[in-house]
Amino acid sequence: MSDDFKYEPSSYQSTHREAARVWNEAPTHHASARPAPAARHRDHVDPERQSESNKDALPPEIVSQTKDGLFVLSIDGTGSTLTWPAAIFAKMPYTMGEIQTEFLGSTSEVLLGVFGDLRPRSNDAYAVRFRRPVRTAQEAREMLLELKVQFNGGGQYSENSELVAEYVLLQVKAPQATRKVLTIFTDESPYSVAEHEDAKKLGIRAKGDMRTATIFDLLKKDGWDIYIILKPYGDNTTVTDSISRQVYASWEALVGADHIAQLKEKDRMNDVLFGILAQTSGKVDYFYTELLARQVDGAGKPEIEKLIPVYDALEQINGVEAQERHPCPGRPAKGLGRGKKSAPLM
């Protein structure tokens, strides 16, 4: 892997214009991920000023034809996530290449989406957004420009991530995929029930109210590997504030602690995504070997300030023993002391 794709968005609201520019200018060592020349694209207007049917926001069904892996990444696009979504989107050329060459297979597909909250009524159409799975960086760039982001949520520490899960359960199909991975990035809890009226507004084919816990249980039974990436709530810089602890507890009850990454640094988001993919593909040792080799300064010394947030975030997912096999210089053994044990991977 390479860490040569840098992006610092100037403001969250400029996400799409800036991401489009960076996609066209950024170097990448993956020829298949090299973007085409810049194309004219329409600016995305404020949701309150654009007329759009809620049901038009989601395709009736999304079918992936991959015989490798399908990676679904749904990103909280409300105001409390600040500049994190922009940073994630801007690195997608690099991310796409790594997913296919290192983790999920050459024909793997990526389905990107954003979600918000139905509670602010003027923004209903933007509560859940997906378009289509993609295989190349250019396809992903074009699709990202079609996604519209809801910049404000409802202010009650919950967003409609349960509707994301319900849509994936009922209307995202990957009949030939060898692995199906759903990753949700957020700083808030899902609602405890996916309400039928909300689902109908978005064109989700639910037959009635569904408990969020039931949705996640059914996703697991259908072969989905589910991970949650949590940032500190709002502009907090730690994950120990009362809201972040409450949000963590709600997700832990749904997916388990070993499927949650708590991350404090947005610039390490790609590393955490790769740690998750390494876990699903049995390449954890490769991931840490490469991470330690890559995160060094000009003198060849480990950049500890970059490594420690990644190790902390992935401890529960990758396991204490995996990290002990590849210790992070300057980080206490077993880190936070709560990670799972893991068997050595071939």
Which H, E and C letters describe 186-214, residue by residue?
ECCEECCEECHHHHHHHCCCCCCCEEHHH
- Residue 234 pLDDT: 77
**Mean pLDDT value across residues 278-282:** 97
**Residue 99 pLDDT greater than 60, yes or no:** yes
Please report whether residue 7 resides in a domain. Answer: no
Domain boundary residue among 229, 250, 281?
281
Please report whether residue 101 resides in a domain. Answer: yes
- Residue 116 pLDDT: 87
- Hey, how many other C-beta atoms are within 10 angstroms of the C-beta on 273? 23
**Mean pLDDT value across residues 145-160:** 71
Q: What percent of the chain has pLDDT over 90?
A: 53
Residues 193 and 57 in one domain: yes
Q: In which band, very low, low, confident or very high, does the pLDDT at 63 lie, cut at 50, 70 and 90?
A: very high
| Mean pLDDT, all residues of the chain | 80
**Residue 29 pLDDT greater than 50, yes or no:** no
Residues 205 and 275 in one domain: yes
Please report whether residue 179 resides in a domain. Answer: yes
- If one compares 141 and 120, the residue with the highest pLDDT of the two is 141
Please report whether residue 20 resides in a domain. Answer: yes
Question: 28: which 2 tokens?
Answer: 């990448």
Please report whether residue 206 resides in a domain. Answer: yes
- If one compares 9 and 188, the residue with the highest pLDDT of the two is 188
**Mean pLDDT value across residues 113-139:** 80
**Overall number of domains in the chain:** 2
**Residue 304 pLDDT greater than 60, yes or no:** yes
**Mean pLDDT value across residues 305-320:** 95
Residues 20 and 162 in one domain: yes
Residues 274 and 302 in one domain: no
**Residue 7 pLDDT greater than 50, yes or no:** no
**Mean pLDDT value across residues 324-335:** 82
Which of 55-69, 73-87, 217-231 has maximum average pLDDT? 217-231
Please report whether residue 5 resides in a domain. Answer: no
- Residue 155 pLDDT: 62
Please report whether residue 1 resides in a domain. Answer: no
Which of 22-31, 54-63, 125-134 has maximum average pLDDT? 125-134
Residues 104 and 70 in one domain: yes
- Residue 288 pLDDT: 97
Flag whether the pTM goes above 0.75.
yes
- Residue 126 pLDDT: 64
Alpha carbons 77 and 15: distance in angstroms, whole number: 10
Task: State the pairing for strand pair 193-194/158-159.
Answer: unpaired
Residue 70 in contact with residue 133, Cβ under 8 Å? yes
Residues 114 and 142 in one domain: yes
- Residue 78 pLDDT: 83
Q: In which band, very low, low, confident or very high, does the pLDDT at 64 lie, cut at 50, 70 and 90?
A: very high
Segment among 15-19, 233-237, 300-304 with least mean pLDDT:
15-19
**Residue 58 pLDDT greater than 70, yes or no:** yes
Residue 86 structural domain: 12-281
Residue 318 in contact with residue 298, Cβ under 8 Å? no
Query: For residue 167, what are the contacts with CB-CB under 8 A and spacing of at least 6?
Result: 58, 128, 130, 202, 204
**Mean pLDDT value across residues 12-27:** 44
pLDDT 10s digits, 281-298 = 999 999 999 999 999 888
**Mean pLDDT value across residues 239-250:** 90
Please report whether residue 292 resides in a domain. Answer: yes
CATH number, domain of 227, equals 3.40.50.410
Residues 237 and 193 in one domain: yes
Alpha carbons 291 and 271: distance in angstroms, whole number: 8
Residues 201 and 252 in one domain: yes
Residue 161 C-alpha from the chain's centroid? 12
Alpha carbons 11 and 328: distance in angstroms, whole number: 33
Residues 168 and 253 in one domain: yes
- Residue 117 pLDDT: 87
- Residue 334 pLDDT: 60
Residues 260 and 289 in one domain: no
Domain boundary residue among 228, 262, 281?
281
Domain boundary residue among 265, 281, 297?
281
The residues facing 128 across adjacent strands are 115
Residues 118 and 248 in one domain: yes
Residues 130 and 219 in one domain: yes
CA distances from 131 to 12, 57, 110 (A): 21, 8, 11
**Residue 140 DSSP one-character state:** H
